[in-house]
């Protein structure tokens, strides 16, 4: 059988498996570039008309094509895909009007539109994990995306670092532009807004600045607290706010704190922010961190099992740390050509446990008080001689925190915790370090105590 016949027969098998629209879009313009028929298997190279088609076919239909070729040839097939037009294609105009080219053209146009609006394509509602800590903010953002300027205007989202404020805000812009690319959308940070005003004043181009910001359907500003205390910037934002909202435009803002706690924010701005909907996003709980880990791992192409997902989630306080760990895993895979194991993930966290969280600026007595309060154990009992598990484990966590987060010498910790010797302290630190890598509850206890301190 020649190449053309093999591919024709394979496409016939594929045609009965997928819908006519999918076949017409992805397979009609493909062809078999080369085929090396070995004794036990065949090495096949498939040509695709565009890089977009190649990536889509390879990621979605690799198994289907491989099975179809194997049935036709009666042996196992190793596949590879390249971007190469079919030399036997006779009608270039017809080819360019095919559904495949239309799909790629639409996708490229959408990406260009998103880029102009400074919207990250990967920040969508579909890959935003939802739980009780961010459910309200997610629902509000979805409502705004469906009804700009009417649902909640402005929408003010606040929360700590790495909880997903920016992702959620940008998801609105992504949704709006994919639905209607003619909408005028712009994402910027509070610093960008400030720099644009300064640049406009310096170059006498303030009118261009106003044209850029005041004629938008959707204005997204990240870290709005940055403009507080800057009189000229707040003045300009006040007029921008009024200009956008007065014609039905939507404004979404994020901050690390609610409007009432942003010092040096003008009262007229504060009142406008509070006139809309203010929602907060709390730190993600364990279940949400597991969901975020799965989403990020899928995006990066890192294959990890459920136990490894839980290990990463248990040892990470935020989505950014999860992403950082997955990036490190991906680097290990590419550079060292290793397989992802529990030991590999555990080693990454064990190295960071000693240095993580050294931002605590507390006294040993304050840490003792917090641990005593958290576990509801009296200080005298906590620092006493009891070896019962409900007392011994909190005591070990106390010693671990004093060592790894305050950096106190072992002998000093022993003196603080009831006059124990340094070997006891060392054993406690090693024990909690080991447990914190795999035990979700221990990790949660440590994180909560750190926040209380």
Which residue ranges make up the annotated binding site for ATP?
Answer: 162, 164-166
Q: How far is CA 411 from the centre of its chain?
A: 42
Segment (H or E) for 76: strand 76-83
Tell me if 399 sits within 8 A of 364, measured CB to CB. no
Nearest to 156 by CA among 147, 165, 167, 145: 165
Tell me if 372 sits within 8 A of 449, measured CB to CB. no
- Rounded distance between C-alpha atoms, residue 291 and residue 297, angstroms: 10
- Rounded distance between C-alpha atoms, residue 309 and residue 312, angstroms: 5
Contacts with 47 (C-beta within 8 Å, 6 or more apart), sequence order: 30, 31, 32, 33, 81, 82, 83, 84, 85, 86
Cβ neighbour number for residue 132 with a 10 Å cutoff: 11
Q: Which residues of 343-378 are buried (b: 16+ CB within 10 A; e: fewer)?
A: ebbbebbeeebeebbeeeebebeebbbbbbebbebe
What is the token pair recorded at 339? 């397989």
- Rounded distance between C-alpha atoms, residue 372 and residue 360, angstroms: 18
Pairing of strands 250-255, 218-222: parallel
Contacts with 273 (C-beta within 8 Å, 6 or more apart), sequence order: 154, 156, 253, 259
Q: Give the residue carrying structure tokens 């065949």.
A: 42
Segment (H or E) for 261: none
Nearest to 419 by CA among 448, 384, 453: 384
Strands (E), 112-261: 155-159, 185-189, 218-222, 250-255
Q: Binding site membership: which residues?
A: 162, 164-166
- Rounded distance between C-alpha atoms, residue 448 and residue 208, angstroms: 49
Q: ω into residue 75 within 30 of 0, thus cis?
A: no
């Amino acid at each position: 059988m020649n190449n053309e016949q093999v591919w024709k027969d394979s496409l016939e098998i594929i045609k009965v498996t997928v819908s006519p629209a999918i076949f017409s879009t992805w397979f009609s313009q493909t062809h078999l570039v080369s085929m090396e028929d070995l004794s036990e298997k065949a090495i096949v190279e498939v040509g695709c008309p565009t890089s977009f088609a190649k990536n889509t076919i390879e990621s979605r239909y690799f198994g289907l094509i491989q099975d179809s070729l194997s049935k036709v040839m009666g042996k196992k097939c190793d596949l590879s895909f390249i971007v190469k037009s079919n030399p036997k294609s006779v009608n270039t105009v017809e080819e360019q009007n095919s559904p495949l080219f239309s799909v790629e053209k639409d996708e490229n146009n959408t990406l260009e539109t998103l880029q102009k609006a400074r919207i990250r394509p990967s920040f969508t509602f579909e890959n935003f994990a939802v739980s009780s800590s961010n459910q309200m903010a997610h629902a509000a953002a979805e409502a705004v995306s469906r009804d700009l300027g009417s649902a909640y205007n402005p929408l003010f989202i606040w929360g700590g670092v790495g909880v997903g404020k920016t992702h959620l805000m940008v998801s609105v812009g992504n949704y709006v532009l994919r639905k209607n690319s003619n909408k005028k959308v712009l994402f910027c940070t509070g610093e960008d807004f400030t720099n644009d005003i300064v640049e406009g004043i310096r170059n006498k181009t303030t009118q261009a600045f106003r044209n850029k910001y005041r004629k938008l359907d959707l204005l997204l500003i990240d870290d709005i607290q940055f403009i507080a205390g800057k009189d000229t910037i707040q003045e300009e934002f006040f007029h921008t706010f009024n200009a956008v909202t007065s014609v039905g435009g939507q404004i979404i803002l994020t901050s690390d704190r609610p409007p009432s706690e942003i010092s040096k924010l003008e009262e007229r701005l504060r009142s406008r922010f509070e006139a809309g909907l203010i929602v907060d996003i709390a730190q993600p709980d364990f279940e949400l961190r597991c969901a975020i880990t799965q989403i990020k791992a899928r995006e990066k192409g890192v294959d990890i099992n459920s136990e490894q997902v839980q290990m990463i989630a248990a040892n990470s306080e935020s989505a950014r740390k999860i992403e950082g760990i997955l990036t490190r895993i991906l680097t290990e895979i590419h550079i060292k050509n290793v397989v992802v194991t529990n030991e590999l993930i555990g080693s990454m966290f064990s190295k960071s446990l000693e240095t993580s969280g050294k931002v605590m600026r507390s006294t040993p007595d304050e840490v003792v008080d917090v641990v005593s309060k958290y576990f509801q154990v009296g200080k005298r009992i906590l620092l006493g001689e009891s070896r019962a598990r409900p007392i011994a484990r909190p005591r070990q966590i106390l010693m671990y925190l004093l060592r790894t987060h305050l950096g106190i010498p072992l002998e000093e910790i022993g003196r603080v915790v009831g006059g124990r010797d340094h070997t006891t302290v060392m054993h406690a630190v090693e024990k909690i370090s080991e447990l914190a890598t795999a035990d979700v509850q221990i990790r949660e206890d440590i994180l909560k105590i750190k926040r209380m301190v």
